[in-house]
Structure 1
Amino acid sequence: MPASATKTLRVAVLADSDTRWKWGALTAQRVAPAGAGIRLDGYLLRGRATPTARQLTEVGVRADSLREVTAVEFLRAMTPGAAGEEPCDVLVLALVGGGVQAVLHGLKRAWDGAGRRPVVVTGYVGVVYEKLADGLLLRHGADLVLANSRQDAERFRAVYEGVGADASAVTEVALPFLGGAPYSGAHDPYTVVFAAQPSVPESRRDRAYLLERLIRHARLHPGREVLLKLRSRPGEHTTHIEEVPYQKLAQRAALPPNLRLVYGHMGEVLDRTDLLVTVSSTAALEALHRRIPTVVLTDLGVRETLGNHHFTGSGCLASWDQLDSGHRPVPEEDWVARQGVATGGTYATAFDTARERIGELLRAPGGLPPLDPYYTPGTAPGYLPGLLARHHLGPDGAPLPGAPAADRGPGPVRQIVRRAARGAYRHGVQRVAPVIRRMGEL
């Protein structure tokens, strides 16, 4: 029976961090054809940012099964006829670009000669403000490359067409985690939330400056509740490395009683937010979707490295001095509409095109053609082999000698060693590396 005729659609999601797991799992739910039940099987790619149990709980997305794998183990699980594995109908790759490219080449080889294969979907977890061409070409070859806004869809197609690659996979959707009740007025107490980011800004000086300004705002407005919304606890990693956690900076500061550090689901924090402040977090789009007053800070400049240049024309750019004086931004409606932030009630239909395309691909007579990435050993012989080797794959997508075996799970000793190694890596990133850099600047 064709996959589209079954009552339950089997969807697999491969993710490499907590934020990408959230995007991938919610995307899987959004793009499933109408009327289809879903079985969601999750795979977490083993690496420095593999989410912890706490991070997975905070994301709030439940899977029917969930396991940690290497790229080679995942590819073997996706190989037709693999022992103990059920084939999926749709596969969502929620990975960095290099991971997507490696898995696409591995899948192309694994599915060679298969009668039918899953529909492969990929995309971005938020605002695309850097490495546009690089990231897009690394994702080329998937059946659907999702664009979170009209603006992104236009940019994506222009990149693919500009290098002579097929752009038909680009499909406009929206961020899958938008939602929540529209803002209806001030809370008691009035609540200001600063949405922190792991790597923006990067330097200790800039992060200390932002914390100091948040503290100053809380002292200037003692009647307000001021929240520093954090993504991860010390020792955890998200999509990006956080070398200078705000928690450690806050330990050395005298915080006023109306300023608190908070974790948890961003949607729940936004439920009580009257003003969202950030440098360039995707949380700004979540807040704009709900019409919560939103500020993108200009204190450190409007720069590509910060990502806040993406918000030029939004009406949301402002400084802490302006906020301290009572400024409240008014977003530009045309800009908001182009960003996939559906404030006019059209969000429910934002994924219709993707659903229809997936349904058509699932019903394709005789199955789908082989995956066809733009990068091949012929088009990028000096780039592709290195990308594949990082995931223990050769230039043809085959596992390299010595790659981890999928037919045996890690024993207790290997699990302990992995946790210790991951902890040592994070310690090196957050403590040792900054010290070495400071010594080098003397």
Structure 2
Amino acid sequence: MPASATKSLRVAVLADSDTRWKWGALTAQRLAPAGAAVRLDGYLLRGRATPTPRQLTEVGVRADSLREVSAAEFLRAVREDPAAEPYDLLVLALVGGGVQAVLHGLRHTWQDAARRPVVVTGYVGVVYEKLTDGLLLRHGADLVLANSRQDAERFRAVYEGVGADAAAVTEVALPFLGGAPYTGAHEPYTVVFAAQPSVPESRRDRAYLLERLIRHARLHPGREVLLKLRSKPGEHTTHIEELPYQKLARKLTLPPNLRLVYGHMGEVLDRTDLLVTVSSTAALEALHRRVPTAVLTDLGVRETLGNHHFTGSGCLASWDQLDAGHRPVPEEDWVARQGVAPGGEAAGPDACGEDSYAGAFEEAREKIAGLLGERGALPPLAPYYTPATAPGYLPGLLARHHLGPDGAPLPGAPAAGREPGAVRRTVRRAARGAYRHGVQRVAPVIRRMGEL
């Protein structure tokens, strides 16, 4: 990397939910060279999952600037920033369709530019569904980050299988792993169930898991049992949550040793003795810190639940087993392939050491340094999907973000550089609230009526 680049790095992160903002912002920090001063500008893509101030505070990642934008507004911001200082790095922390739209928009925006930033994208956690679809939608970025050795191998196989360039695939690790390693039981012994917004989906399955959590708390009155929730009613995260556990819990009598908690997952893990989940990425956070971790089999081991990803991990278990005192022991080879405790370190006081963890991002840093050194000669972004290769698919993806088939903003796209007035802000908040009300209250009622 040029000497000037090691002194400062100007980064923009575009995210569409609280979890993706966390992934994008922390990834940007991990990718910065040692000693570099990073200016981080955050852009929140306007949509159903735009994070609330509370969610942003809970994520705990600070940005030098943060504002809500449409895709068209973001494209204008990265080309015509008022500071007149170009970005070095753009991190696209979006759902696949959003990444594809922005890649085409950036290609159009930079068609006459003498130089452009390095563009990075990836996944916020475990990739257990829509692997091919999601990867091809991310193709075209300079770096497509894979959170583990296993993911890197799968990503390259998909790209090579369709004849796409796989050179962008770069192995890293999840950027939010870390914290003190588990050293033994706390007082009181604490069991944490990490809830997920959309897994499982049905009322019956969610009610079953809640009832089993309550039963576990009653069977072990000396334990503290925590239901770790991602969002409060009315908020959305990466996935839609139609039946919040809070709503189900209101109709039940909870034992005194069971509590509903929010907050940063890392802080909850500081006091956890057993992490229980269906398939949450929290399992990888716990495994990285050597916290005993159980991935539930009660509802089956199925692709729709995502717990099939943990086959071979040694972590699969049922509530019956956990009630009886079972504590799963992870398979070290499986853990190492997931980018957890990089290098396959054995459990111990240095198993979660920052030095070994930081090394997981070194290849990506070196690639970015090389690209920044050549940024004046970087070729145009070249996504796999084009109007010629996917004429029945791509235009619709772009249109959702008010972009035409060539990536240019369509007439009527939201204007950039202009903050919305009070009336527009009020209308947006009302519309977003109405949408969330429809998802969490109206839709389930209609679905139940349809099942009669």
Instruction: State TM-score, norm by structure 2.
Output: 0.96
In the alignment, residue 254 of structure 1 is paired with which amino acid? T
Counterpart of 1:364 in structure 2 is 374
Alignment correspondent of 1:417: 427
Q: Distance in 2 between matches of 1:118 and 1:396?
A: 20
The 2-side partners of 1:365 and 1:412 are apart by: 41
Q: Does 1:392 align with 2:402?
A: yes
Give distance in 2, aligned partners of 1:238 and 1:102.
21
Q: Does 1:169 align with 2:179?
A: no
Aligned-residue RMSD, C-alpha = 1.2
SS state at 2:294 partner: strand
- Contact kept? 2:118, 2:375, Cα under 8 Å: no
Distance 1:189 1:354 in 2: 42
| 3-state SS, counterpart of residue 11 of structure 2 | strand
Provide, for residues 408-435 of structure 1, a one-character-per-residue CA deviation record: whole Å limited to 9, x for no partner: 2110000000000000000000000000
Task: Note the C-alpha offset of 1:64.
Answer: 0.4
1:292 alignment counterpart: 291
Residue identity opposite 1:289 in structure 2? H
Checking the alignment, whether the CA contact within 8 Å between 1:25 and 1:61 is kept in structure 2 is: yes
1:440 pairs with 2:450: yes
Question: Is contact 1:3-1:89 (8 Å) kept?
Answer: no
Q: Which residue of 1 aligns with 2:102?
A: 103
Q: In 2, distance between residues paired with 1:225 and 1:155?
A: 40
Query: Is the partner of 1:93 in helix, strand or coil?
Result: strand
Shift of 1:33: 2.1
Q: Distance in 1 between matches of 2:216 and 2:112?
A: 63
1:3–1:363 Cα contact (<8 Å) kept = no
In structure 1, distance between residues paired with 2:114 and 2:411: 28
Residues 263-308 of structure 1: per-residue CA shift (max 9 Å, x gap): 0000000000000000000000000000000000000000000000
Within a 5 Å distance, the mapping from 1:6-405 to structure 2 comes to: 7-79=7-79, 81-84=80-83, 86-342=85-341, 344=345, 345=351, 346-364=356-374, 366-405=376-415
- Aligned partners of 1:16, 1:2: CA distance in 2, in Å? 32
Q: How many residues of Structure 1 are paired with residues of Structure 2 in the alignment?
A: 441
Look up the match of 1:429.
439
Q: Aligned equivalents of 1:362 and 1:83: distance in 2?
A: 22
In 2: Cα distance, 1:95 partner to 1:105 partner: 14
Task: With the length of structure 1 as denominator, give the TM-score of the two structures.
Answer: 0.98
The answer (yes or no) to whether the contact 1:4–1:362 under 8 Å persists in 2 is no
Deviations 1:93-120 (A, max 9, x none): 0000000000000000000121110000
Aligned to 2:308, the other structure's residue is in SS state: helix
- State how far apart, in whole Å, the 2-side matches of 1:82 and 1:50 are: 22
Contact 1:33 1:358 in 2 (8 A): no
Task: Judge which range, 28-37 or 197-206, deviates more.
Answer: 28-37
The one-letter code of the counterpart of 1:57 is: T
Q: Which amino acid aligns with 1:352?
A: E
In the alignment, the residues of structure 1 paired with residue 4 and residue 302 of structure 2 have an alpha-carbon distance, to the nearest angstrom, of 46
Q: Tell me, yes or no, if the aligned pair for 2:6 and 2:33 is still in contact at 8 Å.
A: no
Secondary structure of 2:165's aligned partner? coil
Q: Residues 231 and 3 from structure 1, CA distance in 2 versus in 1: closer, same or farther, beyond 3 angstroms? A: farther
Shift of 1:5: 3.4
Structure 1 CA distance for aligned equivalents of residues 16 and 381 of structure 2: 22
1: distance between equivalents of 2:411 and 2:210? 49
CA distance in 1, matches of 2:304, 2:105: 33
Contact 1:34 1:355 in 2 (8 A): no
Give the Cα–Cα distance (whole angstroms) in 2 for the partners of residues 425 and 33 of structure 1: 42
Runs of 4+ in structure 1 over 6 Å off: none
Distance, in Å, in 2 between the alignment partners of 1:236 and 1:391 is 22
What per-residue deviation string (whole Å, max 9, x for no partner) do you get for residues 104-149 of structure 1?
0000000012111000000000000000000000000000000000
What is the CA distance between 1:82 and its match in structure 2?
4.6
CA contact (8 A) 1:3 1:9 kept: no
Shift of 1:366: 3.0
Q: How far is the alpha carbon of 1:30 from its aligned partner?
A: 0.3
CA 1:261–1:378 in 2, change beyond 3 Å: closer, same or farther?
same
Q: Which amino acid aligns with 2:71?
A: A
Paired with 2:6 and 2:272, the residues of 1 have a C-alpha distance of 43
Question: Take 2:101 and 2:358, find their aligned partners in 1: how far apart are those partners?
Answer: 33
TM-fit CA distance, 1:34:
2.6
CA–CA distance in structure 2, aligned partners of residues 365 and 398 of structure 1:
23
Letter in structure 2 aligned against 1:257: P
Q: CA deviation at 1:51?
A: 0.3
Answer with 346-355 or 379-388: which moved more.
346-355
Displacement of 1:35 in angstroms is 2.8
Does the residue aligned with 1:91 lie in a helix, a strand or coil? strand
Q: Post-superposition shift, 1:24? A: 0.2
> Corresponding residue for 2:348?
none
Give the distance between the partners of 1:138 and 1:365, measured in 2 at CA.
Answer: 24
Distance in 2 separating the partners of 1:167 and 1:227: 43
Deviation at 1:361, TM superposition (A): 0.5
Shift of 1:365: 6.3
Contact 2:111 2:380 in 1 (8 A): yes
SS in structure 2 at match of 1:351: helix
| Cα distance change on mapping 1:68 and 1:328 into 2, 3 Å | same
3-state SS in 2 of match to 1:419: helix
Rounded to whole Å, the distance in 2 between the matches of 1:173 and 1:85 is 32
Cα distance change, pair 125–264 in 1 and its aligned pair in 2 (3 A): same
One-letter identity of the residue aligned with 1:369: P
Give, in angstroms, the shift of residue 37 of structure 1.
1.2
Supply the distance in 1 between the matched residues of 2:273 and 2:81 (Cα, whole angstroms).
52
Instruction: For residue 3 of structure 1, report the CA deviation from its aligned partner.
Output: 8.3
Give SS of 2:377's match. coil
